[in-house]
Amino acid sequence: LAKTTQPISMDSYEGQEVNITCSHNNIATNDYITWYQQFPSQGPRFIIQGYKTKVTNEVASLFIPADRKSSTLSLPRVSLSDTAVYYCLVGDMGSSASKIIFGSGTRLSIRP
């Protein structure tokens, strides 16, 4: 199983760029890197997914170095509503779902 390690918590301020790094040293060739966001009493929401290099969508960017042993979720100009728990998952979504593990995530707190 490809285990991930993320910071337990992070703090930032409105308008800042926030980068959350996830380590996944034993990532397999077929594994994708997927990030989810979860607000209290809601289900996780898919943010972004990538395999290598850089992926960007309307809400975030995902940077993946060549060795793929880590990845960084970048949230530009955060607001108070970005306060949530962010999960980094690594796995081959096409294989057994039980191999896709939600860890403890990173609790991001945004201050005014």
Partner 1 sequence: ETGVTQTPRHLVMGMTNKKSLKCEQHLGHNAMYWYKQSAKKPLELMFVYNFKEQTENNSVPSRFSPECPNSSHLFLHLHTLQPEDSALYLCASSQKTGSGNQPQHFGDGTRLSIL
Q: Which residues are at the interface with partner 1 (CB under 8 A)?
A: 32, 34, 41-46, 49, 51, 92-98, 100-105
Q: What distances in angstroms separate CA 24 from CA 15, 88, 91, 92, 105, one per listed residue?
A: 29, 9, 10, 13, 13
Shortest reach from residue 78's CB to partner 1, in Å = 22
Closer to partner 1 at the Cβ: 35 or 75? 35
Shortest reach from residue 76's CB to partner 1, in Å = 21
**Which residues lie below 8 Å from residue 97, measured CB to CB, with a gap of 6+?**
none
Contact 14, 79 (CB under 8 A): yes
Shortest reach from residue 112's CB to partner 1, in Å = 26
